[in-house]
Structure 1
Amino acid sequence: MAEVFAGVEAERKVMVAIDESEYSHYALTWVLDNLKESITNSSLVIFMAQPPPRSSFTFSAPLGSARMYCPVSATPELTNSIQENHKKLTLALLEKAKDMCASYGVKAETITEVGDPSTVICDVVQKFDITLLVLGERGLGKIKRALLGSVSNYCLQNAKCPVLVVKKPK
């Protein structure tokens, strides 16, 4: 698994980017099932992005047969509370993923950073010299992907390493 460059072994680092979806869970399981021999002797990194802080939110309330949407500015206390809850959720999901790896006999390192998942994933790939990025495919249709964008598509275009997109069978 290690490559030799001018007599020096380079450490391989595989990173699986996860979120709370079943697609990222499947991608991690796929890596553990199919790349176990390769990742046992290299570094496995599990990454999860935390959403950036928001200063405003939109709340909806029923109004007769329709819904009323009302933008609301968030107080610093509300923003901090939401960020703290996101951090707790992220750390719990990373710990669960790490335990899953341990059940396969694979030691994993976890990393989280705050920001837009697409850009933060690519930044972490470069920052930690990741040699293979693994993502789960969400299964967005062409129209949704065009309108909403796709984390996996962004990473395919911008990550500074090979990217493996794992598609969950239907």
Structure 2
Amino acid sequence: MAAEGVEEKGRRTKVMVAIDESECSRYALEWALHHLAEPLASSLPLLLFTVQPFNTLGYIPAAAAGYGSAHALAAVPPAPGLIKSLQEHQRKIALSLLESAEDLCATKGVVTEKITEVGDPKEAICEAVEKFKINLLIMGSHGRGALQRLLVC
């Protein structure tokens, strides 16, 4: 049944797999390749999508920056070099995730297109679905129950 949705009534379905560093994400990609590999191999490229989270490092405690005691209340802005270093690190992680996913897809003969965005993952995934006119979104679950999702989101 899942494979029928990839090429329905002669129209080609755009499929996107949202990936991150979690095991659930890796499983979602493996599931897609197991259940949809044949239709995907003859379809549009599979979109591999990942999000680099915003660097929320606005101010850091003075003690963490090396100023004063551990109980210091003052906050100092992080050094521009630190922010740039963190952003570069996040970019490298995202590219590594995409390359690893692309390699896995290649073993099944599935052509991919890699996309990375910066922002809040929930918003970025929704925006990507609209922007790229995605018909089928595949993503892993974070494993939280309904109550935890309600409290955390």
TM normalised by structure 2 equals 0.80
Q: SS of the counterpart of 1:121?
A: helix
Gaps of 5+ in 1: 62-66, 150-170
The residue that corresponds to 2:113 in the other structure is 109
Match of 2:79 among 75, 95, 98: 75
Larger RCO: Structure 1 or Structure 2 (Cα < 8 Å, ≥ 6 residues apart)?
2
The residue that corresponds to 2:55 in the other structure is 53
Query: How far, CA to CA, are the matches of 2:147 and 2:18 in structure 1?
Result: 24
Specify whether residues 16 and 29 from structure 1 end up closer, same or farther in structure 2 by C-alpha distance, changes over 3 A only. same
* Deviations 1:103-150, CA, capped at 9 Å, x for gaps: 11111111000000000001111111111101111110233211212x
Query: How far, CA to CA, are the matches of 2:103 and 2:119 in structure 1?
Result: 25
Pairing 1:29–2:30 present:
yes
Equivalent residue pairs, number: 140
**RMSD of aligned alpha carbons:** 2.3
Gaps of 5+ in 2: 1-5, 65-69
Specify whether residues 121 and 88 from structure 1 end up closer, same or farther in structure 2 by C-alpha distance, changes over 3 A only. same
What is the Cα deviation at residue 55 of structure 1?
3.8
Task: Tell me which structure has the larger Cα radius of gyration.
Answer: 2
Specify whether residues 44 and 36 from structure 1 end up closer, same or farther in structure 2 by C-alpha distance, changes over 3 A only. same
Q: SS of the counterpart of 1:15?
A: strand
What percentage of aligned pairs have identical amino acids?
45
Match of 1:147 among 124, 146, 151: 151
The residue that corresponds to 2:104 in the other structure is 100
The residue that corresponds to 1:44 in the other structure is 46
Q: SS of the counterpart of 1:147?
A: helix
| Greater strand share, structure number | 1
Specify whether residues 75 and 137 from structure 1 end up closer, same or farther in structure 2 by C-alpha distance, changes over 3 A only. same
Query: Does the CA contact (< 8 Å) of 2:7 and 2:39 recur in 1?
Result: no
